[in-house]
Amino acid sequence: MLKNLDPILSAPLLAALKEMGHGDEIAVVDTNFPAYAMNGRVLHMPGIAATRVVEAILSLMPLDTFVAAPAATMAQVDGKGPPAIFAEFQAACDKAEGRKVKVEEIDRFAFYERVKKCYALVHSGERRLYGNILLKKGVIGPDA
C-alpha cells in the first residue's frame, strides 16, 4: 500500500499510466468486451466495476483539455440513447476534472477502431452492458 494512492491501481496499470504521453488513450472495458482481439496490452481488473476503475485512473491521470471530448463511450447498437452506465462515467469525469467534461458517444465499430490504437486496455469486471469508455490523457503543467 502507498499513501494517497487508490488501492485498486495495480503496478502494471500505474506503469501504463506513467508511460502514456499527452493524447494517448486508455480504454476501460466491460467483461464482455473482446479485449485480446482489440489490443495487445490488456490489464486485468476482475471483479471491479468499470466506473470504479475510471475513478481510480482519473485520480491520477488528467484528461486532455486540447480536444472537444477527452472521453468517449460506446453507443448502444439499438439506438435507444445512452446506456445507464453513461451517467456514472460522466459523473466520474466531471468530479475528477472539477468541471463539466464532454463525453461523446461513438458507434460500436468506431469505438473498436479507437481501442486498437489505445496505449492500453483495462479489462474490468463490469457486467453491465456498454460499460466501455476511452480516456484521453492530458498534461500536467510545471506548477502541479
Per domain, the residue ranges of the chain are 23-136
Q: d(Cα 114, Cα 111) in Å, to the nearest integer?
A: 5
Of 13, 22, 63, the residue nearest 42 (C-alpha): 13
Q: d(Cα 136, Cα 69) in Å, to the nearest integer?
A: 9
pLDDT bracket for residue 78 (50, 70, 90): confident
Q: What is the CATH number of domain 23-136?
A: 3.40.1650.10
pLDDT exceeds 70 at position 144: no
pLDDT bracket for residue 81 (50, 70, 90): confident
| 22 noted as active-site residue | yes
Q: What is the pTM of this model?
A: 0.96
pLDDT exceeds 80 at position 25: yes
CA dihedral 27, 30, 32, 38 (to 10 degrees): 0
pLDDT exceeds 80 at position 142: no
Q: Which of 5, 15, 19, 22 is catalytic?
A: 22
